[in-house]
């Protein structure tokens, strides 16, 4: 007696503990809410916006606008479309085989269905419930079932194991095989009989057969009968169930004549009937409507595949009617939709969209995979719509269910997430109200499609590929990523530490890809900058083109040399000579390289032409080494070819001590030998070699494996990156390399032309002369301008002018030439009480105007400087070109940046409005295909 | 042929049919038959069907299709109207409304009611819609032979009819308004055929009567022998006989029960339609063609079973049974092979003509009686021969000696009577169905074509002159 209250106390304590473990006492267990941007209920009615779907214990608790109680876990689909899980009104998922016998009413499709198998394609298509068809060939093929396509409780997944009895009124039922029914012990009285023919073999006997079979299974007096099924025994109860109204008939009928006979049978028996894929229903649709039958259709197109019967114009197979579902629905038939046989279920909604294309109203089409589909299958109490009490089967879609690029992101079955899309795609789509591609075209409600850092397509109404990340900016104006034509961004101060007058200085090496100074410019849409140090002297320095939003240093550099800044302002007779000499030096340098390339090509051609010499004699002087030798010690040689440009020869003299490696490394370059350097450190363990040494402009490492005197390694050479190096041991004794044996020398090195010396100081000029870069020439005086323009036009060298003060008075010095002119940041001057807009004036002379900020920290203001010029008369198109396409063209960067065109770098800016309106702000910036700025949520 | 000859033909026609009223005995003095052979019977042929119910309402098994469906009021006026069972009318008018004929008379004698549309057919000839006695055209799919079992009394063509496909459209273009659409002859008893109009809004509206007939194929096709079919005459006849005897017993039990003697037999869906056959609500149309087989038809179906029997597809040398057929009241529709090469005389014989008058070229054989004017019909077996060519079959008959008048009767009132629908169709008679073929000339002339076809009072076909046929 005393123990009982004690037990109660224990129970109470346990209950208290359980309650304490629950996440929030106000929220029942297994409860969550889905915040839906758009919520379709499956009933074909207008969707709810910004609605909540609340799920408790796998069932829909509520749908509506009211937020759930605080503390409810939330699945955020606020930027997504949520709809009921698709009810597939027909499928071949059971893979049901056909019996040999014409009558197999007791064959159940559910028995053939593999519940353990993942239905990934269906879940990817948003299908959560499916009708499983039995075999479709025989007269009475069996019974279909309705199952859920996910869930661990196999029994609970079956909504109806005997959903319908399938009867075939179509051609295939006339072609059952003969059946051989041997007697077990043949005697004279009971002999072996020939295989039995199965009826019907012609349409005239189909109804007669069916009447007889159904009459035999019931007491009902049918108007006429037939021989009916012969010896084969089967369970007649399903036929009786049909007559009693307990089991609907699924009538397979394609041709109008078959549909008509199916309807006749329905009338005679007075049973529930679903016509299965009655493609020619239009001809008998009034009759079908009067008899209130339902119909399921397979949308007759297989996407991206050959379609049966289509390859031969003489093919006699009946034409499917894509508008059949529309015709049936128009007369009030209940219609269900499924994709054609062979179409993966992941394309279910695309098939539905095709039915809409052929006249089925979109609301009916969605009902045909929702409410109506469930009604046809008799499972409308459970699925098909998202109403309180029904199963929480729903799909989260990336957009409009019927849009071509919409994909299923999540599929939920009974309140459990059965599928979530992995976002492995690198595709990015920006949809915007207006897109200026920078090349003169504009797109309303356009799309920029990007993948792997490049632009794939730009246009209006582009299909978004399956799996793409979509950014919707319906009000935004998208332009190419902006280019600052002259900037010190990335360099310290105003280009300090890159000294003026040093064109040999590799500007891009001095810039870090993650320089925080890039961020403000990037936030204003500047994705590319043409960086140079401070000007000074006639040849001041290189211009490098770099991205401000790159992920790493390698992808930061668009061009190491995009230009060379020079100046010339001398006037008078022959004043251009100094400038021209610079150009001449460059030309000679280029000529030397051209000659080398030609010699090299000739030499290589000659080498190819020579027949292969006799095999080199095997070294015969190899003597066995006196001392036992480890696998490493000795002299190793290997050649390295860096991108076909630089040929290096490595000589490693190594000695193993324990697992430590000592020795020297010598790198020969361009025929020059440099002194051997000691190795900074190294190890050799288990056949793996690691070395560290000072290499090309920094520390270098080598990692590799040794096997049979061959070293296979990866060598990291500072900025040259990783290279594969294979070296061979030419001597097993450490120390000075053994003198080369004649037989070991490489005959193909003989006579190889020597490359000219690389002159870093002349490389920028070489790039310009080879039209890979532009000279940026500062000159202000008219005569100087004239001289420069004349010379560079004659030499055909790309150039950009800057300064150009005398051009303000007229374009005469240009003599009709149209060079690009770099301006900014100041373009509007007050001159004798009048405002002069330099950019506008130059643009009026038909000169491409390029905007450069000339700043570092304040490069971010470039778009505003351009806007100021627009305020005083520059056309916005010229202003945009001056920060995109014109700049890219002038600096020969137009293969990469400047316009939104297929194949170009995926750099763009989305503004909240007109890019030149001071009120507009940047919403999104994409650089190299990555969203690097997303200011959509920023509060002003 | 030239125009004047055609006028002569028309005049001869007029003379031949002047006094020949439907049902009235032919008066030889008043209506000389210009091409009659020596063996025409004294009395007109009389189809043997004594038990046939008198009125449509007396039918117990067969179902009659609707009549008098709404149609506009029309007055078709043409240079000639051939009512078949009345004298031809020059400048005549046929008035139709709600699917029926309201008047047939000379234009001068008729007052066209207000609101009726006058269709002026000019020089055309108006004849009744023709009746096809043996065809397989009503289904889109030629699925009429199940050839597994020898007899299939449970089969019916009614389930297969579809109104819009090429062959049934060709029927209208050929002037055919009613077709007896029967199962194939791949098995001995192919099932029950349907009498259907060749145009209507639906098969239900097109129905004239179901069953139209029971189709039996005695020989000349079913012996190809699939399944357990007997392949000789004895085997095949045994199957037919056994099945019919089952039906006969069932009918007799019913008759006894209806006469107050005995129990009502348990309803048997398979035998129910055979009961109607024995009640002579409809005929048995027999695919039977050579002498020996037609003799068997006569003996077994007509005499032993006592069925209303019509030979269809009657070909080859069976015409020598014309006298027996005449005496037994067994009618014959000939075609589609409408001639026979008689080796004894090296003559091409026209089958319709020989059935009609017993054969003029009997040579050494004993002369036999012919069936006479009222005992000969015609069929195509379409789509074996296109349905459009029913009149060509009749033209072959005329070319080989059949009187022109008999050919026209064969196409119309004779076929209609054989099928038991002569109270509905087969002549231009007030109260019959408004089925009219409006032809560019004499329908037997192969150059003539249907200009307009009217079925159940509806214009359902107009010839497109830019197309060769239809």
pLDDT tens-digit map of A260-279: 999 999 998 889 999 999 99
Structure tokens at A84: 């009921």
Predicted confidence (pLDDT) at residue B17 exceeds the cutoff of 70: no
Compute the average pLDDT of residues B11-26.
Answer: 43
Among B160, B217, B268, pick the best mutation site for testing chain A contact (most A Cβ within 10 A). B160
Chain A residues inside the 8 Å CB shell of B270 = 212, 224-226
Classified as helix, coil or strand, B17 is: helix
State the pLDDT at residue B469: 53
ipTM here: 0.73
Nearest by CB to residue A225, choosing from B143, B148, B269, is: B269
Q: Which two structure tokens, joined as six digits, stand for A678?
A: 């000691």
Residue of B nearest to A284 (CA): B202
Task: Report the gap between the CA of B111 and the closest CA in chain A (Å).
Answer: 40
Q: Is the dihedral of CA B1, B5, B7, B9 positive or negative?
A: negative
Percentage helix, strand, coil, to 5, in chain A?
Answer: 25, 30, 45
**A99-124 pLDDT per residue, tens:** 999 999 999 999 999 999 999 999 99
Q: How many CB pairs under 8 A join A and B?
A: 91
What would the mean pLDDT of B124-143 be, rounded to a whole number?
87
**Strands A59-64, A74-84: pairing kind:** unpaired
For residue range A686-707, list pLDDT tens digits in order. Answer: 788 888 877 655 677 888 888 8
Rg of chain B in Å (alpha carbons): 21
* Closest to A619 in 3D by CA, of A706, A713, A728: A728
Q: How many CA atoms lie within 13 A of B405 on its CB side?
A: 26
Please, which residues 118-177 of chain B have a Cβ atom closer than 8 Å to chain A? 139-141, 143-149, 152, 154-157, 159-160, 162, 164
What are the tens digits of pLDDT across the range A726-743? Answer: 888 877 776 544 444 444
In whole angstroms, how large is the CA radius of gyration of chain A? 40
- Chain B: nearest CA to A261, how far in angstroms? 6
Check whether A609 has a pLDDT greater than 70. Answer: yes
Q: Are A449 and A435 in contact (CB under 8 A)?
A: no
Three-state SS for A527? strand
Could you tell me if A203 lies within 8 Å of chain B, comparing CB atoms? yes
- Mutate: best of B63, B154, B247, partner A, most A CBs <10 A: B154
Interchain CB contact of A256 with B (< 8 Å): yes
Question: CA of B356, closest CA in chain A: separation in Å?
Answer: 35
β-partners of residue B215 are: B191, B285
Q: How many CA atoms lie within 13 A of A27 on its CB side?
A: 20
Q: How far apart are CA A495 and CA A534, in angstroms?
A: 5
Would you state the torsion angle of the CA atoms of residues A701, A703, A707, A712, taken in this order, to the nearest 10 degrees? -80
B160/A261 touch (CB, cutoff 8 Å), yes or no: yes
Which residues partner with A636 through β-bridges? A652, A729
Is pLDDT above 60 for A782?
yes
Which residue has better confidence, B33 or B203?
B203
Share of chain A above pLDDT 90, in %: 55
Q: How far is CA B431 from CA B70, B426, B438, in A?
A: 14, 12, 19
Across B139-144, average pLDDT = 69
Tokens linked to A835 = 């405002």
Residue A617 has pLDDT above 90, yes or no: no
Strand partners, A147: A130, A158
pLDDT tens by residue, A76-99: 998 899 999 999 999 999 999 999
B139–A203 C-beta distance less than 8 A: yes
The pLDDT value recorded for residue A47 is 93
| Chain A residues within 8 A of B201 when measuring between CB atoms | none
Judged by a CB distance cut-off of 8 A, whether residue B226 touches chain A is yes
Mean pLDDT across chain A, nearest whole number?
Answer: 86
From the list A200, A223, A260, the residue facing B269 with the nearest CB is: A223
Model confidence band, residue B223 (pLDDT cutoffs 50, 70, 90): confident
Q: Using the 8-state DSSP alphabet, how is residue A658 labeled?
A: T
Calculate how close chain A gets to B52, using CA atoms only, in Å.
22
A197·B159 Cβ contact <8 A: no
More confident residue, B389 or B227: B389
DSSP string, A679-723: -SEEEEETTEEEEEEEETTEEEEEEEEEETTEEEEEEEEGGG-EE
Interface of B with A in 250-289 (CB under 8 A): 267-270, 272-273
Q: What per-residue confidence (pLDDT) applies to B405? A: 95
Of the residues B193, B270, B271, B277, the best mutation for testing chain A's interface (the one with the most A CB atoms within 10 Å of its CB) is B270
CB contact under 8 A, A257 and B183: no
Residues in chain B closer than 8 A to A282 (CB atoms): none
Tell me the whole-structure pTM to 2 decimals.
0.65
Is the pLDDT at B65 greater than 90? The verdict is: yes
Backbone dihedral angles phi then psi of residue A744, each to the nearest 5 degrees: -90, -15
Closest partner CB to B143 (pick from A204, A215, A222): A204
Instruction: Say if the Cβ atoms of A204 and B273 lie within 8 Å.
Output: no
């Amino acid at each position: 007696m005393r123990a009982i209250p004690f037990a109660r106390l224990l129970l109470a304590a346990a209950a208290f503990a359980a309650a304490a473990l629950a996440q929030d006492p106000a929220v029942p267990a297994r409860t969550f809410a889905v915040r839906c941007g758009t919520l379709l209920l499956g009933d074909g009615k207008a969707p709810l916006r910004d609605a909540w779907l609340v799920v408790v214990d796998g069932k829909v608790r509520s749908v509506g606008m009211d937020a759930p109680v605080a503390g409810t876990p939330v699945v955020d689909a606020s930027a997504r479309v949520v709809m009921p899980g698709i009810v597939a009104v027909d499928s071949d998922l059971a893979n049901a085989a056909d019996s040999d016998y014409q009558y197999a009413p007791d064959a159940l499709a559910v028995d053939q269905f593999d519940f353990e198998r993942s239905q990934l394609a269906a879940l990817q298509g948003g299908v959560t419930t499916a009708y499983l068809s039995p075999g479709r060939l025989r007269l009475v093929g069996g019974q279909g079932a309705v199952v859920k396509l996910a869930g661990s409780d196999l029994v609970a997944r079956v909504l109806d194991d005997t959903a319908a009895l399938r009867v075939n009124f179509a051609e295939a039922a006339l072609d059952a095989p003969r059946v051989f029914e041997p007697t077990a012990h043949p005697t004279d009285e009971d002999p072996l009989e020939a295989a039995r023919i199965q009826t019907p073999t012609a349409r005239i006997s189909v109804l007669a057969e069916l009447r007889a079979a159904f009459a035999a299974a019931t007491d009902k007096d049918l108007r006429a009968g037939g021989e009916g099924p012969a010896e084969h025994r089967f369970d007649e109860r399903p036929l009786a169930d049909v007559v009693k109204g307990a089991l609907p008939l699924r009538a397979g009928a394609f041709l109008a004549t078959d549909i008509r006979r199916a309807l006749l049978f329905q009338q005679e028996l007075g049973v529930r009937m679903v016509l299965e894929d009655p493609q020619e229903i239009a001809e008998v649709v009034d009759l079908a409507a009067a008899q209130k039958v339902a119909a399921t259709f397979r949308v007759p197109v297989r996407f991206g595949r050959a379609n049966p019967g289509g390859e031969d114009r003489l093919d006699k197979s009946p034409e499917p009617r894509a508008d059949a579902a529309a015709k049936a629905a128009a007369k009030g038939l209940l219609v269900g939709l499924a994709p054609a046989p062979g179409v993966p279920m992941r394309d279910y909604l695309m098939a539905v969209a095709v039915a809409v294309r052929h006249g089925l109203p979109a609301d009916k089409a969605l009902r045909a995979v929702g409410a109506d589909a469930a009604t046809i299958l008799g499972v409308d109490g459970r699925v098909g719509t998202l109403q309180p009490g029904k199963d929480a089967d729903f799909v989260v879609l990336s957009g409009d269910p019927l849009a071509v690029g919409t994909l299923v992101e999540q599929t939920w079955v009974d309140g459990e997430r059965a599928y979530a899309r992995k976002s492995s795609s690198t595709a990015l789509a920006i949809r915007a109200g207006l897109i200026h591609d920078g090349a003169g075209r504009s797109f309303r409600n356009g799309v920029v499609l990007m993948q792997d850092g490049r632009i794939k397509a730009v246009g209006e109404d582009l299909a978004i590929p399956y799996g793409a990340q979509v950014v919707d900016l319906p009000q935004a104006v998208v332009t190419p990523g902006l280019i600052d034509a002259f900037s010190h961004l990335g360099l310290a101060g105003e280009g300090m530490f890159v000294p003026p007058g040093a064109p040999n200085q590799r500007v891009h090496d001095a810039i870090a890809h993650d320089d925080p100074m890039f961020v403000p410019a990037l936030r204003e849409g500047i994705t590319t900058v043409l960086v140079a140090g401070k000007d000074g002297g006639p040849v001041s320095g290189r211009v490098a083109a770099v991205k401000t939003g790159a992920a790493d240093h390698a992808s930061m550099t668009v061009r190491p040399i995009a230009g060379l800044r020079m100046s010339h302002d001398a006037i008078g007779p022959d004043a251009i000579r100094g400038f021209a000499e610079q150009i001449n030096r460059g030309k000679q340098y280029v000529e030397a390289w051209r000659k080398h390339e030609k010699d090299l090509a000739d030499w290589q051609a000659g080498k190819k032409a020579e027949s292969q010499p006799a095999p080199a004699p095997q070294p015969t002087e190899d003597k066995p080494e006196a001392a036992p030798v480890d696998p490493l010690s000795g002299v190793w040689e290997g050649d390295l070819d860096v991108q076909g440009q630089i040929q290096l020869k490595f000589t490693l003299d190594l000695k193993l001590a324990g697992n430590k490696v000592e020795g020297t490394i010598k790198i020969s370059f361009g025929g020059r030998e440099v002194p051997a350097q000691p190795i900074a450190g190294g190890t050799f363990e288990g056949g793996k070699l690691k070395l560290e040494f000072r290499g090309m402009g920094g520390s270098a490492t080598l990692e590799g494996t040794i096997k049979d005197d061959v070293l296979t390694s990866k060598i990291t050479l500072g900025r040259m990156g990783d290279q594969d190096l294979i070296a061979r041991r030419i001597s097993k004794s450490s120390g000075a390399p053994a003198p080369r044996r004649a037989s070991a020398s490489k005959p193909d090195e003989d006579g190889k032309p020597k490359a000219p010396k690389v002159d870093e100081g002349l490389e920028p000029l070489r790039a310009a002369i080879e039209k890979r870069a532009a000279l940026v020439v500062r000159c202000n005086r008219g005569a100087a301008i004239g001289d420069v323009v004349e010379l560079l036009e004659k030499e055909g060298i790309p150039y950009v002018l800057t300064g150009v003060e005398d051009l303000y008075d007229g374009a005469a010095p240009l003599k009709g030439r149209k060079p690009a002119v770099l301006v900014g940041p100041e373009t509007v001057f007050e001159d004798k009480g009048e405002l002069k807009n330099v950019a506008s004036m130059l643009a009026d002379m038909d000169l491409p105007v390029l905007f450069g900020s000339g700043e570092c920290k304040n490069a971010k203001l470039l778009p505003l400087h351009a806007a100021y010029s627009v305020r005083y008369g520059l056309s916005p198109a010229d202003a945009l070109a001056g920060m995109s396409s014109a700049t890219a063209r002038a600096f020969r960067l137009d293969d990469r940046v400047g316009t939104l065109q297929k194949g170009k770098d995926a750099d763009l800016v989305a503004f909240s409005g007109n890019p030149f309106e001071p009120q507009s702000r940047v919403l999104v910036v994409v650089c190299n295909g990555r969203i690097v700025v997303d200011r959509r949520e920023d509060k002003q | 042929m030239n125009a004047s000859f055609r006028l002569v033909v028309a005049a001869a026609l007029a003379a031949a049919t002047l006094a020949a009223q439907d049902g009235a005995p032919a008066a030889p003095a008043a209506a000389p038959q210009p091409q009659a052979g020596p063996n025409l019977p004294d009395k007109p042929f009389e189809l043997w069907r004594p038990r046939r119910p008198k009125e449509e309402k007396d039918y117990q098994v067969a179902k009659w299709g609707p009549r008098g469906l709404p149609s506009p009021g029309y007055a078709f006026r043409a240079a000639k109207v051939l009512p078949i069972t009345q004298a031809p009318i020059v400048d005549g008018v046929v008035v139709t409304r709600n699917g029926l004929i309201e008047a047939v008379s000379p234009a001068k004698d008729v007052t066209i009611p207000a609101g009726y549309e006058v269709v002026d057919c000019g020089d055309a000839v108006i004849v009744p819609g023709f009746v096809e006695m043996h065809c397989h055209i009503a289904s889109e799919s030629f699925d009429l032979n199940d050839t597994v079992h020898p007899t299939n009394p449970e089969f019916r063509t009614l389930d297969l009819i579809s109104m819009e496909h090429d062959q049934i459209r060709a029927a209208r273009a050929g002037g055919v308004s009613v077709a007896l659409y029967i199962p194939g002859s791949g098995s001995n008893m192919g099932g029950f055929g349907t009498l259907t109009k060749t145009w209507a809004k639906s098969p239900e509206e097109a129905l004239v009567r179901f069953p139209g007939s029971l189709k039996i194929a005695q020989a000349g096709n079913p012996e190809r022998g699939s399944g357990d079919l007997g392949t000789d005459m004895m085997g095949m006849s045994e199957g037919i006989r056994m099945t019919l005897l089952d039906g006969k017993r069932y009918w007799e039990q019913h008759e006894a029960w209806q006469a107050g003697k005995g129990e009502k037999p348990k309803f048997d869906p398979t035998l129910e339609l055979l009961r109607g056959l024995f009640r002579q609500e409809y005929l048995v149309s027999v695919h039977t063609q050579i002498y020996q087989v037609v003799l068997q038809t006569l003996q077994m179906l007509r005499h032993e079973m006592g069925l209303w029997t019509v030979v269809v597809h009657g070909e080859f040398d069976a015409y020598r049974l014309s006298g027996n057929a005449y005496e037994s009241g067994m009618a014959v529709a000939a075609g589609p092979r409408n001639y026979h090469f008689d080796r004894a005389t090296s003559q091409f014989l026209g089958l319709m003509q020989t059935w009609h008058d017993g054969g003029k070229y009997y040579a050494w054989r004993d002369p036999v009686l012919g069936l006479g004017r009222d005992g000969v019909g015609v069929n195509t077996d379409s789509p074996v021969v296109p349905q459009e060519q029913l009149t060509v079959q009749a033209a072959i008959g005329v070319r080989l000696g059949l009187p022109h008048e008999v050919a026209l009767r064969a196409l119309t009132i004779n076929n209609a009577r054989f099928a038991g629908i002569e109270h509905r169709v087969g002549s231009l008679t007030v109260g019959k169905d408004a089925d009219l073929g409006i032809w560019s000339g004499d329908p037997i002339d192969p150059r003539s074509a249907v200009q307009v076809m009217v079925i159940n009072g509806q214009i359902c076909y107009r010839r497109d002159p830019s197309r060769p046929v239809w």
